[in-house]
Amino acid sequence: MSKWSNFVQCSLLSNMSVDATSAIVSVAPAGWTDVPDPAGDIAYLTLLDDIAAPTKFEIISYTSRSGVGPYTLDGITRGEEGTTPLVWSIGNAVIQNITASALVEALQYGTLTTGKGLTGAETPVSLGGDLNISLSIEELVASIVSDSDSNYIPMYTGILDDTVKVRIRDIVDGGTF
């Protein structure tokens, strides 16, 4: 499971080449949160050239955080979620925001680190097939939060024009697919 925190923002304190597997980041400015410690799991961050008006971005993951601030991030995997590994400079912005894989994880494992999650009904109901729908991200999140007794598992299949394409598949005999 990946680690998430609200209001994460900091900046790079080291340059990053396209093949860098570690980076040094600042402590969060006042009112913001430091990058989370994955504590043996994984955490995702988004790198931006300009926080107010970004022209380039990259999603990375990392497996460890050391230091008491500034922090060294190690085990970095570049170009996550279809982004391209880029060269980054000292001072570029680092944030943690909900990404497609965060939504996928929430749907697959039924929880984010907030503890709010999905629970399936004890008696599955069959649709007799798949149902393909498109939802805005807000609609998808609202349906997860409001329908805790759902008999269906939303399965992420991609983002298209600010909507999440979701395939709703029924749970049959408690199996997985």
Encode pLDDT of 28-76 as tens digits.
999 999 999 999 899 999 999 999 999 999 999 999 999 999 999 999 9
- In the structure encoding, which two tokens stand for residue 87, read together? 């060269």
Are residues 93 and 145 located together in one domain of the fold?
no
- Judging by beta carbons within 10 Å of its beta carbon (0-12, 13-18, 19+), is residue 107 exposed, middle or buried? middle
Last residue of a domain, one of 55, 81, 97: 97
Last residue of a domain, one of 40, 69, 97: 97
Closest CA to 100 of 92, 108, 88: 108
Residue 176 lies in a domain: no
- In the structure encoding, which two tokens stand for residue 110, read together? 């039924």
Are residues 28 and 93 located together in one domain of the fold?
yes
Q: Give the whole-angstrom CA distance, residue 32 versus residue 150.
A: 35
Report whether pLDDT(153) > 60: no
Instruction: Identify the pLDDT of residue 139.
Output: 54
Q: Which domain holds residue 7?
A: 2-97
Report whether pLDDT(82) > 60: yes
Are residues 11 and 87 located together in one domain of the fold?
yes
Are residues 93 and 107 located together in one domain of the fold?
no
Q: Give the whole-angstrom CA distance, residue 158 versus residue 94.
A: 24
Last residue of a domain, one of 97, 126, 152: 97
Are residues 53 and 80 located together in one domain of the fold?
yes
Q: What is the pTM of this model?
A: 0.62
Report whether pLDDT(156) > 60: no
